[in-house]
Structure 1
């Protein structure tokens, strides 16, 4: 499936500089072990699927100490490169597992803007990292084949219709997420899982 992601590479050495308050890296994996890394906010936001209308979806950070790391590194990878067994097994009393909805810090519009918390649905694990798909309430995704409608849920306090991005997987350390006891209904999760199996070689 074709991706809507534009690939850019910075040649001025700016990727060696650390953002003022946190470190984030974007990795685009095409065929292992080759990869591209770009730390520009614009490219990270684009890799996460955050358009202009998405920038106001997440809540602004507060004095919340539930995120133990400063601002965790987020890796964004093509979904097919992360193909694996997928199953529904949320467990609020154990580790984060597929079917749970958690929150991460996502880049904002510019370097002077604070990051915002964004919801993702967990679809797998990679050692101590969780793998998730971005949730968005932007209605522009309605006609985008890389997004799937999941309806409304407690991940959005305004009760808006939501979509999940299918062609990119986000990887973030488990200590860098926030859990709020939220799960996606199993029927909706299975719709996501079936698309991953049919279109991205998941099992």
Structure 2
């Protein structure tokens, strides 16, 4: 992929995708702070000017990655069957897309007011709020907005601790999704009865 013929063979969209893919690989291995457009051009096998042509600068590239991440998150949350399943899907998204996850919630890395990013972030937020408001008031309290913050905090905090390997001791080899289901059951109820227990909706 490093020859000039290969560079000329890229279509416009393919080149943009190649740069994003190279960036995601770099973030997974070294984190977003070390990201360099020149290094990405080398990794993707394209001219050093190609990343700047598509994204203008490093923050523009990270904005595109954050927006893509929120779109992926919205899609996975949209398939949730209930609030606990939404939380499990949130954690699974973080594990499956760790590079996106590292960038999405760090506004100092990208352009947080970018219109496309704001729309994608809004869609993901809407999916989480829908899961929270579907829980009867007896199971989440009367303030749905605060319940949404609690649900997000639980899922995001658990995912972050998991990705940074801070749960290896407490997890004791247990499946992360099973552990999260148990935690969610301690916090939210799906009806006016006892909190949801681990093992089924």
TM-based fold match above 0.5: no
Query: TM-score by structure 2 length?
Result: 0.30
**The structure with more radius of gyration:** 2
| Structure (1 or 2) with the greater strand fraction | 1
Query: TM-score by structure 1 length?
Result: 0.30
